[in-house]
Structure 1
Amino acid sequence: MSPWSDGRRDAPNVDRRAPRVVGRRRRRVSKPVWRRLTGVALWVVIGVCGAAYATSLAIPLWYQLHQQRLLIVTSGSMAPKFDAGDAVVLRAISDESDLKVGQIISFWPTGESTQLVTHRIVALRALPDLEEAADGRMVPERDANGDPVTKFYVVTKGDANSEADVNATPIGRVRGVHLGVHKGWGWVLQWAGSAQGRATMLVPPLLALATLELLALGDGRRDRRADPVSGNPTGTDRRFDELLLD
């Protein structure tokens, strides 16, 4: 009688070593040429449009970090210094002593608060500050000693204009001094900041990403059709299941 016997039958001969489960790798199907070219083209669209959008945000931000700003020229009143469609670089002034005759400045014209004008300073004047009297007339404002209160103004003129601007501009309405010009940047920056420009830079890469996802799903289905038995258990897997069920 076998030492493993309980008097009725012998114990089964069971291999107690851990079974090795050998999986079968799914065979990947080579992508067609059109599929590879389409993928490359879509990634190019994503890269180009993404870089363009990032650049449109980074350029104004870079100037802001350096205490400067870009202003888009919309008229030719300063030709040939710069023309419509150029972008000028401005630096904000900290004191009225920063202004000198001959400088190019950007300012809000008197009575205007929506459109900046960029012209050259042709004169600096200290003019009486006016206030409205009881009878509605504009009279010079006076301080506590009775002396007239004066305020500094700039007289400006466009280089392409034959005469100076009609109204002098108070120093407080000057927004910045011209530092340089980038030819042709204005139209590009204006377009990039418009709704049409944003859509042009953002919609194509989003559509490209969605198309890549759809193509990836198609690749997965193609691989499964080319390897239909990859999902079935192998012989080793079945033997392992049988051992667990014994």
Structure 2
Amino acid sequence: MRRVVSVALWAVVVSGVLAYATSLVVPLWFQMQGERLLVVTSGSMAPRFVEGDVVVLRAVTDASELKPGLIVTFQPVGGTSLVTHRIVSLHSLPAMREADDGSGRMVPVLDAAGEPVEQPYIRTQGDANPEPDPDATPVERVRGVLLRVHHGWGDTLVWATSPVGRAVMLVPPLLALATLEVLSVLDARRRRTRSARRPADADRRVDALLLD
């Protein structure tokens, strides 16, 4: 029984450590390839990919890489979340910035001569959306181009990187290691007790022989 318990506890330790290591190694492996994983949170690109899928992106190094038909991830002007949509057209428009008066309105960027500075923009649209996105996006806000899709990876990836997922992967192995240590201490104590009893038992047997 002691051996069965030890094997079961070591199985918990090994499985937990392997799961945790995998959750770290998989994103790191993609980063080493110059790629990035992004979990899809909407269905605007169905059926190409849907909520819960994971898209693999590569960074854009030059605006010339962008062409109509490519699927890109970008941060919309004035937004904080990332959007992954298809490029429908390319444009050269005046660069915009927020006004200095704190109103949040956008005003053109001017050069030294007071002329508007032209900047490349993309127009995008989700495959499942009937209309293009309302605003054009500066090329500099593009975060990556779609390489491939892993369907259904999203829930697992989000769970594995969450505090709950980390706890599920790490707490049982730690408890199993603690239990193994306690069992080891108890075994050592039991062996010492047996060793201490053996000389006394031997002395009693010798005394019994002498008396006989």
Q: Distance in 2 between matches of 1:149 and 1:214?
A: 71
**Are 1:203 and 2:142 counterparts?**
no
Q: Distance in 2 between matches of 1:227 and 1:210?
A: 26
The unaligned stretches of length 5 or more in structure 2 are 204-212
**Are 1:168 and 2:139 counterparts?**
no
Q: How far is 1:149 from its partner?
A: 2.1
Q: Distance in 2 between matches of 1:207 and 1:146?
A: 68
Work out which of the two has the higher radius of gyration on C-alpha atoms and give 1 or 2.
Answer: 1
Q: Which amino acid aligns with 2:70?
A: Q
Tell me: CA distance 1:157–1:229, structure 2 relative to 1, closer, same or farther (3 Å).
same
Match of 2:86 in 1: 120
Q: Which amino acid aligns with 1:129?
A: A
Matched-pair contact (CA < 8 Å) for 1:106–1:174: yes
Q: Distance in 2 between matches of 1:96 and 1:130?
A: 18
Q: Distance in 2 between matches of 1:84 and 1:35?
A: 47
**Are 1:51 and 2:36 counterparts?**
no
Match of 1:9 in 2: none
Match of 1:108 in 2: 75
2:4 to 26, 34, 37: 37
Q: Distance in 2 between matches of 1:230 and 1:101?
A: 86
Normalised to the residue count of structure 1, the TM-score between the two structures is 0.74
Q: How does 1:33-182 map to 2 (within 5 A)?
A: 34-113=1-80, 115-130=81-96, 140-144=108-112, 147-182=115-150
Deviations 1:189-240 (A, max 9, x none): 11111100010011000000000011112222333444444577x99xxxxx
Q: How far is 1:36 from its partner?
A: 1.3
Partner of 1:88, secondary structure, is strand
Partner of 1:175, secondary structure, is strand
Partner of 1:176, secondary structure, is strand
Higher helix share: 2
Deviations 1:52-83 (A, max 9, x none): 00000001111111111100111111111111
Equivalent pairs, count: 199
Match of 1:22 in 2: none
Q: How far is 1:144 from its partner?
A: 4.6
Q: Which amino acid aligns with 1:54?
A: A
The unaligned stretches of length 5 or more in structure 1 are 1-33, 236-246
Q: How far is 1:150 from its partner?
A: 1.0
Identity of aligned residues (%): 56
Q: Distance in 2 between matches of 1:81 and 1:165?
A: 18
Q: How far is 1:146 from its partner?
A: 5.9
Q: Which amino acid aligns with 1:198?
A: R
Q: Which amino acid aligns with 2:90?
A: L
Q: Which amino acid aligns with 2:85?
A: H
Q: How far is 1:142 from its partner?
A: 4.5
Q: How far is 1:175 from its partner?
A: 0.3
Normalised to the residue count of structure 2, the TM-score between the two structures is 0.85
